[in-house]
């Protein structure tokens, strides 16, 4: 479907809700704090588990390595990926974000998320 057409129009019952939070959330990998925020963005999407997104300024990008991997979501757009690297420990393509999300979810711009089973969480 071309960029200008919306899957939301084709599937009106499908939802992607961006819900701001205010409680502290921290993500660690291999003993290093990777992201820490008191303003998480919760994405609640039909047929998916809730995902916690972090503003890029709350993420330590010194431990992220950009990759060529990408995926496409018909409701959010094209995702870019990063690999987590701390010392000798690595988790490939475990962080993603939508740098140019579709207008319906424009609030995702400037945020990244982590696969929950590849990092340690503190809430």
Query: In the chain, where are the structural domains located?
Result: 16-122
- For position 10, what pLDDT does the model report? 86
- For position 87, what pLDDT does the model report? 97
pLDDT (tens, 9 = 90+) of the chain, 123 residues, equals 444 456 888 888 999 999 999 999 999 999 999 999 999 999 999 999 999 999 999 999 999 999 999 999 999 999 999 999 999 999 999 999 999 999 999 999 999 999 999 999 998
In sequence order, what DSSP letters do the residues of the chain get, joined into one string? --TTS-HHHH-TT--EEEEE--S-EEEEETTEEEEEESS-EEEEETTS--EEEEEGGGB-GGGEEEEEEEEEETTTEEEEEEEEEETTEEEEEEEEE-SS--GGGGGGTTEEEE-TTSSEEE-
Tell me the CATH architecture of domain 16-122.
Beta Complex (2.170)
């Amino acid at each position: 479907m071309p960029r200008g057409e919306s899957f939301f129009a084709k599937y009106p019952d499908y939802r992607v809700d961006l819900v701001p939070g205010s409680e502290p959330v921290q993500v660690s990998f291999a003993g290093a704090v990777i992201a820490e925020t008191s303003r998480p963005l919760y994405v609640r999407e039909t047929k998916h588990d809730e995902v916690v997104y972090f503003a890029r300024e709350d993420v330590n990008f010194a431990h992220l390595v950009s990759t060529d991997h990408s995926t496409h979501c018909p409701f959010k757009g094209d995702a870019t990926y990063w690999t987590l690297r701390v010392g000798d420990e690595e988790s490939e393509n475990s962080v993603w974000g939508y740098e140019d999300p579709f207008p319906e979810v424009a609030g995702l711009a400037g945020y990244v998320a982590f696969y929950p089973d590849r990092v340690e969480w503190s809430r």
